[in-house]
Amino acid sequence: MGNGEYVNQFFDTIDDDAPWQWRKWSTFTSAEVAALDKVLRTLLDACAATPRVCADDEFIASGWPGRVKPIAATALALMRARGRFREDHEEDSPSITS
């Protein structure tokens, strides 16, 4: 995975320009929304601070992956603590713990 996919994979789901309003109409808790918002803001800052076309080594050297990592890890830990919903049927609360 290159740096373009690294960023775009997140924006595929979490993006204020996306057709659905992930902040309001989602399965995320308010704490998860706040944590994901921090990741979103950091990735937007990274995009603004680096060239649109950037080699992977250049992106790594910029230091942005190191700045994103602890913020993303916090969000992931929060979501993992609650668990995941099954994909084969609807649930009122997550049943899969990791």
Asked if residues 94 and 85 have their Cβ atoms less than 8 Å apart, the reply is yes
How many beta carbons lie within 10 A of that of residue 12, not counting itself?
10
**What confidence tier does 96 reach under pLDDT thresholds 50, 70, 90?**
low
Output the pLDDT for position 19. Answer: 67
**How confident is the model over 25-30, as a mean pLDDT?**
82
> Tell me: the pLDDT tens digits for 34-91?
999 999 999 999 999 988 888 899 999 999 999 999 999 999 999 888 777 777 777 7
**What confidence tier does 98 reach under pLDDT thresholds 50, 70, 90?**
low
64's enclosing H/E stretch is helix 64-82
Output the pLDDT for position 33. Answer: 92
One-letter amino acid for residue 4 of the chain: G
